[in-house]
Amino acid sequence: MKERLRIPAEWERHDCCWLAFPYLAAEWPSNLQAAQRTIADLCRTIADEGNERVRLLVRDQNVEAVARNLIGASNDIDYVAADYGDCWVRDTLPLLGHTPSGALGAVGFRFNGWGRKFDDSFDVEIGRWLTDHLGATLLEHDLVLEGGALEFDGQGTFITTKSCALNDNRNPGLATADVENALRSLLLFERLIWLERGLNHDHTDGHVDMIARFVNADTVICTHAGTNDPNVEVTRPIEAELRQAGLTVRTVPSPGAVFAPDGAPLPANYCNFYIANEAVIVPFFGVPEDSEARDEIATAFPSRTVVGLSARDLLWGGGAFHCATQPQPTPR
């Protein structure tokens, strides 16, 4: 049988976390500096609170200088020069895992700019660059899929959304069985739980990491939305669907309606947290629900510090902390 990878759950130990420093003015037409400050804060928090080494991609010496100035002194952050496009490395970098022998492996799906919406230089090339840089075994498939579209427990259970994985702008004509067979050919795979759709105003067409996340091998966390939430019709069925799949379900509140400075609605959700070695970094949106969400997530991770960081400026560009991070697992 063809070699397959096990992608560890995010709460398993990381050797480091990869991020990319924003630099494209076209992507951030009016808030590039604010997005850069957020990524700097995230890097520092992962390194200091999360006890996890950070490897930050920087486009050139000028970008590195800006990053160093914002982050400050740290012995646990490496600056790695590379050609990359935007900062959403959850999607542009491969998923990293282990081969049956324990060596580092990578799974690369085809990337088409989130359904041909965005076309930044090097978004496609950076995945293979990282694989070569790490000397990892690369398994590839022609399925169009981003890392943020898959949630997993490290034991073979995956969650995704039909609105993304089966969208005609990615995989026209494919059925659920086709996607499942593709994953089975690459990964240690037991089952794929299908949710119907993701958040409104999410330009990824509904990445699952915005709506449901594993917190241990049989427990997921999702949003319990109030009637005034703009995504109530999206999130209301999710809890029941996950319970029907046999999972224990915890919930966090919705942040409610969150808007960009220009008035555009944003796909805000607390599920887009990052699980570092010793901390969980939760996106905050400057609303009263922030503290309640932090407390609920803390009960799900009793052995980790839970830290809230402002994510509103980053979300204006399309994502939050899980979207901007790609963990590299510790070698076995």
**Annotated catalytic residue 271:** no
pLDDT at 98: 96
- The per-residue pLDDT for range 126-181, each reduced to its tens digit, is 999 999 999 999 999 999 999 999 999 999 999 999 999 999 999 999 999 999 99
**Which candidate in 16, 87, 164, 323 is catalytic?**
323
pLDDT at 262: 84
Place of tokens 């593709």: 182
The listed CATH number (1.20.1260.10, 3.75.10.10, 3.20.20.140, 3.40.640.10) that belongs to domain 14-329: 3.75.10.10
Q: Is the pLDDT of residue 50 over 80?
A: yes
- Assess contact for 270 and 295: CB atoms under 8 A: no
Place of tokens 């809230």: 308
The DSSP call for residue 166 is T
* Of 178-187, 222-231, 304-313, the least confident: 222-231
- The per-residue pLDDT for range 217-249, each reduced to its tens digit, is 999 999 987 767 888 888 889 999 999 999 999
| CA-based nearest residue to 57, from 14, 18, 15, 113 | 18
What's the residue count for the chain? 332
pTM, entire model: 0.96
**For residue 193, what are the contacts with CB-CB under 8 A and spacing of at least 6?**
157, 158, 159, 160, 241, 242, 245, 247
Tell whether the torsion through CA atoms of 148, 154, 159 and 164 is positive or negative: positive
Residue 120: CB atoms within 10 A of its CB come to 16
Q: Which of the four pLDDT bands, split at 50, 70 and 90, describes residue 1?
A: very low
How is the chain split into domains, by residue range? Answer: 14-329
